[in-house]
Structure 1
């Protein structure tokens, strides 16, 4: 995390030295507010871009909240926010809530992310998990049944598994349960959950018999405290990394992440300016904060899509 903060600080200093000349839309003259909420997974990208935008548009107040993808969509569907960070596509029920309140929106893909399955560094018995083993651990019927490490593989310790994961409002939780269990939002309930990934990191880092999951970027920030485990989907064990996420070999636990922009909000110059700036910066900033950037042509496509949306 410190290295990433240094990189971000250096980029901000360079941007300030250039007098904010990266802006092509006279952002320095803009005023107003941009309200963002949603995914904790997408938060590091959005906050880093918001920090840079505050330099080129100092009179625009950009606030970034973290209430989870689902919690963010609730606010977004009520018109309380301009942009929602999302680590999964919008659900049918959320889209219906938006329609019910006349909230039109556009979905913009901004980066790729992988989910990291992690254990405590003192764990010396797990070499990898199969997708079937992860399902065996996390499916609803596992509660009260799969309670010890030896319940997964007999040679593993006869010690209780202490599970950690994002809460039910998290898009990461939805994605993991859909990819592993087979149904979004369905899992055993007897695990320590939090909307704050740092709480999960701390729990796993201090618990020898822990097992958890969250976005790859949070593992990258805390790799000295955690041990990442490879996953075998039937085609061999793959460790999550920038390369394995970008080339789609880390399946089924890699995914795109998004921002959703309200059409009403996008008519305001400060929101339109911020989103255009976001798309321009998403590729480089995603790398800086631990995600995998999209191919350049997809950012070009997003820029064109947003331009059409705001006409």
Structure 2
């Protein structure tokens, strides 16, 4: 089992707990601990594996002088903490939205938006599912739209020829950026979804749910599928399977999307935060690949480093989702 697989598969978070401290075995005396600097990060469960990997290596490089905590409140939950000034950095699986921009502004917090990788939201079924060999966006909408609640409860209602078997749905919770993006891309409106499904901010709960039920279907970030391929089966969407290749060439649409970190203006001048972000961007491609996401081209990390160095605040997305955004389109926006 790979190193990141062990992390992903062993990561279980009790309901209601949103902060995971990655202390990573650093021991120090009480005297020493008084001088240890802490970097507080929260947000997306999708971005978590990348940031956790970066945090581990960065802490090692600092020899115990810096502690990094990585929380998992979901993208929306993370922005709430970020805009209250509770965190230095927020991980996000979608761009910051207008209401979050306004919340940060009201608190006097500006932010730097830095893309760190690309992801493919992956639709998965149980390996014993022999019928869902491909699903269209329209069929996924039929499953997940609000009007399906209490009505579309059998696979036979999705497509003629599918079995009369219960449709068991697993998906991210309402604070998740993955939930926001998926509903926008599939249903046509962010957060527009039926409510009668098993929801969790912990993607490993979703992995377990689908892997244990022949009739289950769910969705989450590609890394959680890639590390559990023996327990899950990915479903092509509109005939295309998610993969680094289909993300890079833009054919896995509309479920490919960029991943970000946001750095607070109140934290950017802290030496430890500055060093951490620089470390993150210098090694972004390596950590994206290690955690089974799609690395951005080298030019994207160079641009991000330049923007960070120049303290370029704000977002290039205008407070809106960016459904179906291809990597080359992201690079053009970021270069402006």
1:107 to 110, 113, 125: 113
Q: 1:127 Cα shift?
A: 1.1
1:309 to 311, 315, 332: 311
Cα 1:154–1:188 change in 2 (3 A) is: same
For the pair 1:182 / 2:182, whether they are aligned, the reply is no
Calculate the TM-score normalised by the size of structure 1. Answer: 0.89
Structure 1 spans left out of the alignment, 5+ residues: 7-29
Calculate the TM-score normalised by the size of structure 2. Answer: 0.83
Q: RMSD value over aligned CA atoms?
A: 1.6
Q: 1:38 Cα shift?
A: 0.3
Q: 1:179 Cα shift?
A: 0.4
Q: Distance in 2 between matches of 1:80 and 1:141?
A: 38
| Structure 2 residue aligned with 1:136 | 142
Q: 1:31 Cα shift?
A: 5.0
Structure 2 spans left out of the alignment, 5+ residues: 7-34, 314-336
Q: Distance in 2 between matches of 1:176 and 1:69?
A: 13
For the pair 1:97 / 2:103, whether they are aligned, the reply is yes
| Structure 2 residue aligned with 1:33 | 38
Q: 1:70 Cα shift?
A: 0.4
For the pair 1:162 / 2:178, whether they are aligned, the reply is no
| Structure 2 residue aligned with 1:206 | 212
Q: 1:3 Cα shift?
A: 5.0
Q: Distance in 2 between matches of 1:31 and 1:5?
A: 30
| Structure 1 residue aligned with 2:324 | none
| Structure 2 residue aligned with 1:48 | 53
Cα 1:34–1:263 change in 2 (3 A) is: same
| Structure 1 residue aligned with 2:69 | 63
Q: Distance in 1 between matches of 2:65 and 2:3?
A: 29
Conserved 8 A contact 2:112-2:312: no
| Structure 2 residue aligned with 1:83 | 89
Work out the number of aligned pairs and report it: 285
Q: 1:2 Cα shift?
A: 2.4
Q: Distance in 2 between matches of 1:85 and 1:137?
A: 29
Secondary structure of 2:266's counterpart equals helix
| Structure 1 residue aligned with 2:246 | 244
